[in-house]
Amino acid sequence: MIHMNNVTKVYPNGSTGVENINLHINKGEFVFIVGSSGSGKSTLMKLLLKELDPTEGDIVINRVKTNELSRKQIPYLRRNLGVVFQDFRLLPNKTVYENVAFAMRVIEAPSRIIRRNVPAVLALVGLGKKGRSYPNQLSGGEQQRTALARAIVNNPPILICDEPTGNLDPETADGIMQLLDDINKRGTTIVMATHARDIVDAMQKRVVTLQNGHIVRDIEKGGYSDEA
Amino acid sequence: MRPSTIKYFVREGLSGLKKNLLMTMASMVAVAACISILSFSYCVGSNLQYMLNQMEDSIGISVFLKGELTGEQIENMKTEIGKIDHVESVEYISPTDALDELKQDWGADEDIFVGLDNENNPLSHSFQISLDSIENQNGVLTALENVDGVENVRHGQTETELLLKANRIFSVASVIVMLLLGVISVMIIMNTIRISVVNRRVEINIMKYVGATDWFIRWPFIIEGIIIGLVGAVVPLLLGFPIYAKVTSAIFQYLPVIKFIQFRLTGDVFGFLIPFGVIFGIGLGVIGSVTSIRKHLRV
Ligand SMILES: Nc1ncnc2c1ncn2[C@@H]1O[C@H](COP(=O)(O)OP(=O)(O)OP(=O)(O)O)[C@@H](O)[C@H]1O
Ligand SMILES: [Mg+2]
């Protein structure tokens, strides 16, 4: 589903984001990308989203070599990728319902389907009754659930999460992880960057550890710092 | 495009304009100024042209011939003059015809005609020349200087030349002013759209992540430009319609000197001006927003 072959990203200012990454992720996997601050987790996520282009190497997503995509084709690649960020990135002047519907509207989904899918997804993330609320009327966890609903409402095969629990307290974070696990069980491939040791330890999923832009550890099923 | 998508673009465009009301108003005023000048210069210019056309029908060149020419010489001159560029027709007027015409104009009983008849006719042979367009009069006059047997030439040069000159100066001036205002409008619209893009950068960012196409992201801003252009054009055009009708009828009523000329009908003028002005205004809006998008919207 996702293949990174000898991928290196050097930023224009000369600093190295990641170096010589070889990473292969199968359909349905749940993969944690861990590592200390500055180890290259976000860089790797941005490469997957084609927000950045690799300096060297190539990336294949869903059998599509993303290096070769033209600008016009990028939106169609992105429709395969749901995204969740640490800072939620909701539109403050839109309700929860509208924030989620927005993701469907901008890919020109029929209104009928929007009206059907948005409430279903909101119910799935536990926000069935919050559709009319505005983001500033929600707790952090609820805001992240809204962002999660928005990320999955178009049913992308892959979900990319960059520190989705970074701004949440442990209990709230657990709720989000539960939800991600459910989404993963329904068949969605999940790649999640985090440095929350306890979450990784609790989930017992594949863990890829970055250090100075290199993959230094890749464990099939394990905790944050287990030996391979 | 789905109707719901179009509705979405229009709604987003409108909300973008509302959030940025001051700049929106400024842009609309700039477009309105441009369209006002366009309308004004079209009203004046097309009326000048209209008057010129009316005069063209009545004004030609009269060529008076030397007295001692034979019929054959006159016939040759007629052919020669007929070959001059821009000459549409040459009509020969004999002294007898001229006298008859004069008598008709003045009334045959007038004292001045006493003793004048075909035996004793002081009038000359002449040609009445009509041109394809009054603008070519000078060229024809020069050509006539080289025709043998011409005694003297008369024409309505002064009035028409004045009108022609006025028309030319006016069109050049109005095109310059219009271009200037057009450029200013486009620049103000560009700035308005730039602010709108900045206002929406979070939204644009999310749209990109969820896979909106570049054009989907651009359209609301183009709609903003279209709305600015449309409102900026429609308002002065709708105001101009009754103003034109009032002004022309007032001139007609209070300035009897120029009663012999006519103004173009309000319906004719605005039948052209309204669609043209609206397209022009929308054009300014689209140019402004598209340039701004290209510069500021890195999608
Ligand atoms: N836009 C950028 N321009 C230049 N260098 C960058 C840029 N973004 C990241 N880097 C550099 O690339 C390296 C990896 O950064 P990255 O953001 O991927 O780390 P991270 O693992 O996500 O860190 P964190 O846990 O703090 O989010 C760092 O050395 C960083 O300084
Ligand atoms: Mg990061």
Query: What is this structure's pTM?
Result: 0.75
Q: 């103004």: which residue's tokens? A: B263
Which candidate in A83, A105, A162 is best for mutational testing of the B interface (most B CBs within 10 A)? A105
* DSSP letter, residue B161: H
Same domain, B31 and B81: no
**Shortest-distance ligand to the CA of residue A209:** 1
What is the model's pLDDT at position B256? 63
Q: Is A113 inside any structural domain?
A: yes
Which residue CA neighbors atom 12 of ligand 1 most closely?
A17
Chain B residues with CB within 8 Å of chain A CB: 1-2, 4-5, 8, 202-203, 205-214, 216-217
pLDDT band at A224 (very low <50, low <70, confident <90, very high): confident
pLDDT band at A103 (very low <50, low <70, confident <90, very high): very high
Q: Dihedrals φ, ψ of B181, to 5°? A: -65, -35
Q: For B20-34, what is the mean pLDDT?
A: 92
Which residue CA neighbors atom 2 of ligand 1 most closely?
A11
Same domain, A106 and A200: no
CATH number of domain containing B134: 3.30.70.3040
The two three-digit tokens of residue B182, written as one number = 């057009």
Contacts of B283 (CB under 8 A, 6+ apart): B229
Same domain, B43 and B138: no
The overall average pLDDT reported for chain A is 93
Nearest ligand 1 atom, CA A195: 25
Q: Is A86 inside any structural domain?
A: no
Same domain, A188 and A147: no
What is the model's pLDDT at position B110? 65
Query: Cα–Cα distance between B211 and B216 in angstroms, integer?
Result: 10
Query: Cα–Cα distance between B56 and B74 in angstroms, integer?
Result: 26
Same domain, A198 and A213: yes
- Are B144 and B150 in contact by the 8 Å Cβ rule? The answer is yes
- Is the pLDDT confidence value at B118 over 70? no
Answer with the one of A107, A128, A155 that is the final residue of a domain: A155
> Per residue in A18-73, pLDDT tens?
999 999 999 999 999 999 999 999 999 999 999 999 999 999 999 999 988 988 89
Answer with the one of A112, A127, A155 that is the final residue of a domain: A155
> Per residue in B254-267, pLDDT tens?
776 555 667 888 88
List CB-based neighbours of ion ligand 2 within 5 Å. A 42
Same domain, B217 and B289: yes
Name the β-bridge partners of B152.
Answer: B64
Going from the Cα of A162 to the center of ligand 2, the distance in angstroms, rounded, reads 7
- What is the domain range of residue B139? 60-155
Same domain, A4 and A74: yes
How many structural domains compose chain B? 2
Going from the Cα of B201 to the center of ligand 1, the distance in angstroms, rounded, reads 22
Q: B238-246 contacts: CB < 8 A, separation 24 or more? A: B240/B36, B240/B39, B240/B40, B240/B43, B240/B270, B240/B273, B241/B266, B241/B270, B241/B274, B244/B43, B244/B269, B244/B270
Same domain, B151 and B267: no
> Per residue in B131-174, pLDDT tens?
877 778 778 888 888 888 888 887 765 666 777 788 888 889 88
pLDDT band at B65 (very low <50, low <70, confident <90, very high): confident
Q: Is A85 inside any structural domain?
A: no
Answer with the one of A155, A183, A202 that is the final residue of a domain: A155
Of residues B4, B5, B206, nearest to A89 (C-beta): B206
Same domain, A37 and A106: no
The two three-digit tokens of residue B6, written as one number = 């179009």
Q: Is B151 in a helix, a strand, or coil?
A: strand
A46 lines ligand 1 (CB under 6 A): no
- Are A118 and A104 in contact by the 8 Å Cβ rule? The answer is yes
- Does B213 sit within 8 Å of A75, measured CB to CB? yes
Burial call B9-44: b when 16+ CB within 10 Å, e when fewer: bbebbebbbeebeebbebbbebbbbbbbbbbbbbbe
Same domain, B41 and B174: yes
Same domain, A168 and A224: yes
Q: Is A98 inside any structural domain?
A: yes
Same domain, B178 and B274: yes
- Are A149 and A102 in contact by the 8 Å Cβ rule? The answer is no
Q: Is A44 inside any structural domain?
A: yes
In this prediction the ipTM stands at 0.88
Q: Is B91 in a helix, a strand, or coil?
A: strand
Query: Cα–Cα distance between A79 and B100 in angstroms, integer?
Result: 92
Q: For A208-212, what is the mean pLDDT?
A: 94
> Per residue in B245-299, pLDDT tens?
898 888 877 776 555 667 888 888 899 999 999 999 999 999 999 999 988 877 5
Same domain, A115 and A172: no
Answer with the one of B129, B155, B181 that is the final residue of a domain: B155
Going from the Cα of A147 to the center of ligand 2, the distance in angstroms, rounded, reads 18
Same domain, A127 and A151: yes
- What is the domain range of residue A150? 92-155
Q: Is A87 inside any structural domain?
A: no
Same domain, A68 and A96: no
> Per residue in B79-112, pLDDT tens?
888 888 888 888 888 888 887 877 776 666 666 6
